[in-house]
Chain A
Amino acid sequence: MAYRVFASVLCGLLFGVGLVISDMVNPARVLAFLDVTGAWDPSLAFVMGGALIPSSIAYAFKHRRSRPVLESQFHVPENRTIDGPLVGGAALFGLGWGLVGLCPGPAIASLVTGRWEAVLFAAAMLVGMFAYRIVTSPRNAPRAAY
């Protein structure tokens, strides 16, 4: 387990550096990228494009390996069904992202600025995740019909 946690920290480090130097952590930059009909700023297309190169190679290479280095098997979702929760959740997320300009990675990384706006957003995001947990907990699941 220790090696896997160490690998997580290492991957997080690279991710955090990437978010800051790319300016993905700056909400004004993200909103300028999303503002496709205004003074569009294409910077973040380079972030997405750049990120897809190594990750595509890794996912292609995965087929040639039976297991990851530190685990006995891969844990990659096999679900291919496009359903309401997927589309509805993505739409709610897109609405929140467009209102402020922070998605989860930058929301975490921006905490190091110490700004109250970053803290308030991250706290609200955790409450939103907690709310999802509450509404989907077994206690609130529809009762089986007798």
Chain B
Amino acid sequence: MSDLNFVWPLSGGLLIGVSAALYLLLNGRIAGISGLTASAFGLTGAGINPLGLGFLVGILSGAAVAFAWIRHADFSITESSVLLIIGGLLVGFGTRLGSGCTSGHGVCGLARLSPRSIVATATFMIVAATTVLALRQIVGGL
């Protein structure tokens, strides 16, 4: 994998931050993708939420535009169906049980110094790093 000029992650991060800032100031809500995804598919018990659906349509459109015209990012992922299924199930269930993911807890929660989000972010970062380390020990890297 090639090195990445830091300007790309920094400007991408700034855009994500502007998105979270606008979502707070316009719609008054946390830009948390796990919650928005669940609400878009009616998985929160409150029916299908048009705000969640709109956000997902925006992400898909923005990603398509960026891939086509701004920066064709690599997409290098495991080909193990077992890992993909177990990983997806854990991410889906875990983010709902823990009330958020990298965006809701990581970006919005840390920005507002929420104690729950600080604990959640520290937890998922440490567990994820430990998982990568353990996988590398077991299978010699993925």
- A: residues with CB less than 8 A from B are 1, 4-29, 31-32, 34-38, 41, 43-59, 61-62, 65, 67-71, 73-77, 79-82, 85-105, 107-113, 115, 117-118, 120-133, 137
User: Does more than half of chain B's interface fall in helix, strand or loop, or is it mixed?
Assistant: helix
- Report chain A residues within 8 Å CB of B75: 25-27, 110, 113, 115, 118
- Report chain B residues within 8 Å CB of A57: 21
Instruction: Indicate if the CB atoms of B91 and A87 lie closer than 8 Å.
Output: no
12 new A-B contacts, CB < 8 A, other than A55-B108, A121-B87, are A22-B10, A25-B73, A41-B1, A46-B13, A70-B28, A89-B99, A96-B89, A103-B103, A110-B77, A113-B75, A129-B41, A130-B92
- B: residues with CB less than 8 A from A are 1, 4, 6, 8-31, 33-34, 37-38, 41, 43-45, 50-67, 70-71, 73-79, 81, 83-99, 101-103, 105-108, 110-112, 114-116, 119-121, 123-133, 135-136, 141-142
Q: List 10 A-B contacts (CB under 8 A).
A: A17-B15, A22-B8, A38-B141, A47-B16, A55-B108, A89-B97, A93-B90, A96-B88, A108-B59, A129-B92
Instruction: Indicate if the CB atoms of A132 and B27 lie closer than 8 Å.
Output: no
Total A-B pairs in contact (CB under 8 Å)?
Answer: 498
- Report chain A residues within 8 Å CB of B112: 59, 62, 76
Contact of B124 among A46, A49, A97, A131 (CB under 8 A): A97
- Report chain B residues within 8 Å CB of A93: 90-91, 94-95, 98, 101, 124, 127
- Report chain A residues within 8 Å CB of B81: 120
Complex Cα gap A126–B8 (Å): 30
- Report chain A residues within 8 Å CB of B58: 8-16
Complex Cα gap A93–B75 (Å): 21
Instruction: Indicate if the CB atoms of B119 and A17 lie closer than 8 Å.
Output: no
Instruction: Indicate if the CB atoms of A100 and B107 lie closer than 8 Å.
Output: no
